[in-house]
Structure 1
């Protein structure tokens, strides 16, 4: 709540910048990750850039204009939907805490999900990326990075946040802190060997206080640096595909996990999805596999 009033009144006008801090404090208190909190901050700043600076300007028209502006900038459907979700959380908070008389987003349809399917890498492409990693200035790091992303399905930001204490070598588990909270994910023997090789022979921290796993010039990887590193490897591997990067490795992990017989509920826990519907989307990428399985196991055909 704002310090200026113990009992907010919806007919009063409140500046967004002051509401922002109260809203973000509550999100952090609820246990949302730092990345999620920063995402909310970004949405507020974009609202202000559209000329919305107080609650009186938070109208239905302003919300529609904000989403339309995001689309006009050529942002992906997923990003636009994330803007919409963040905006709904913020506006619901304002309404329920008495800062808005009406919720301007209530009743507005969500941006349509155009089912933008990211095509996963083939296993041949993965091997080419790993071969490309061997030719960089930091071959052990880049190999370990690709294998970690591919073997665990963690997000780019989660990989950036990995520290040495997050690795449980005995159990083969990583402790991951992401936008949906904290979880543990398993990793296999090939990934383990690659991480050991990188940490023992190539990782150079400027001082002991730097505990992050993946470093660039002695500094922890940022999501931008990680994305650039992976996209360069993809290009070096001769793979010409728009938007292919670290998230494509996450998609590849998910598809290969299901293809190998993993179940969607376990996959949901590994990927850190709050909603099963998101995880089930990966099943749609297995159309050929589903068709082939039906040919083998069709109960009607087996009666003939």
Structure 2
């Protein structure tokens, strides 16, 4: 006779079930320099398929920490396991009080003041938190120095503001269509103002991404920040401008690599665009003018003109609608205009 055996549960009364504590000390057998630890981390993230720009940011952010440690705690450079929470907090205070904005940054002028913006500091801390968690999980460090380190708090701040109507007019009126560079800038600005494309998405767009019959531009997944392709409608006027610019560029340089090229037949870059806007800002006496402002202006105007926030979220490629809400900054004039238009009191006052 074949008997069926059923496994019985062992009694748990009186037995201690051990689970590792959140930050339990673990023994490290090998000593890694910060550079070696960074290389292992980068290899793992590349294997996960992270974008090259994200990898570049990881390298850049850890270089800031290494620079600080080399000057203040050089022993930590040779042994990442000796990095402590106190070192991290000292580094935070250095970023808040002593670090100069854009120091050592390519294509950006160093600002003559000390202390970085809170948002910038928190971005660097998020990178360090990701790295330290990886190093701890891989048993490269005994304790995670980022445990207990909280983001830096700040007073309520506005996101990037868009452009006021009068400033949009100033910008476009200042451009001379007879000059190739200014005509190209004008088309780029209109494209971003019409579609809400990110600066990098707009600058690197290729003519094959446009459907001039159905009037939309395709942002493929390999370009999109959230790795999801999307089709964004464009107006016929802007579509015509894009096609005219491409045909003109083609006459000069043959088949161009992308729609927006510089005067030497090379791809027009975000850094070059930012510099040109900065010069225009000074010439027109504007407080701010940089690439992302056209995307933010699109977002604000889209809602003010009657668009809904859920469609806007899809167009802007935001994973979380909370990001879309933060993205839209209404001016006092916008709020006043909307109030005058929709206040329920006006309906009864007109009787």
How many residue pairs get matched?
294
Aligned residue for 2:41?
23
- In structure 2, list runs of 5 or more residues that go unmatched: 1-25, 70-75, 102-115
Query: With structure 2 as the length reference, what TM-score do the two structures score?
Result: 0.72
Q: Distance in 1 between matches of 2:49 and 2:95?
A: 28
Residue 34 (str. 1) matches residue 38 (str. 2): no
* Matched ranges for 1:101-250 at <5 A: 101-114=142-155, 115-134=157-176, 136-171=179-214, 172-175=216-219, 177-184=223-230, 185-202=232-249, 208=255, 211-216=257-262, 217-236=264-283, 238-242=284-288, 244-250=289-295
Q: 1:164 to 1:228 in 2, by over 3 A?
A: same
- The alpha-carbon distance between structure 1 residues 11 and 281, as it changes in their structure 2 partners (threshold 3 A), is farther
Q: For the residues of structure 2 that align with 1:138 and 1:65, how far apart are their CA atoms?
A: 46
Q: Decide which of 66, 80, 84 is 1:55's aligned counterpart.
A: 80
2:140 to 99, 118, 136: 99
> Which of the pair is proportionally richer in helix?
1
- Quote the Cα distance in structure 2 between the aligned partners of 1:20 and 1:204: 47
TM-score with structure 1 setting the length: 0.82
CA distance in 2, matches of 1:296, 1:207: 51
CA distance in 2, matches of 1:207, 1:23: 43
3-state SS of 1:220 partner: coil
Q: CA–CA distance in 2 between the matches of 1:180 and 1:130? A: 31
Larger-Rg structure: 2
More displaced 10-residue stretch of structure 1: 168-177 or 38-47: 168-177
Match of 2:95 in 1: 70
Say if 2:161 and 2:329, in contact at 8 Å, map to a contact too.
no
Deviation of the 1:25 alpha carbon: 3.2
Displacement of 1:164 = 3.2
Q: 1:143 Cα shift?
A: 1.2
Pairing partner for 1:277 from 294, 319, 322: 322
Q: Using the alignment, how far apart are the partners of 1:29 and 1:287 within structure 2?
A: 48
Task: Name the SS of the counterpart of 2:330 in structure 1.
Answer: helix
Deviation at 1:137, TM superposition (A): 4.5
Distance 2:348 2:161 in 1: 36
Q: Which residue of 2 aligns with 1:267?
A: 312
Q: Which region of structure 1 is more displaced relative to structure 2, 24-33 or 122-131?
A: 24-33
* Kept in 2: contact 1:255–1:286 (CA 8 A): no
Q: Which has the higher contact order (CA 8 A, sep 6+)?
A: 1
After superposition, give the CA deviation of every residue in 1:39-77 in whole Å (9 maximum; x if it has no partner): 111112222212252422422122223333333324333
* 5+ residue gaps, structure 1: 1-7
Q: Secondary structure at the match of 2:229?
A: strand
Match of 1:5 in 2: none
Matched, 1:46 2:90: no
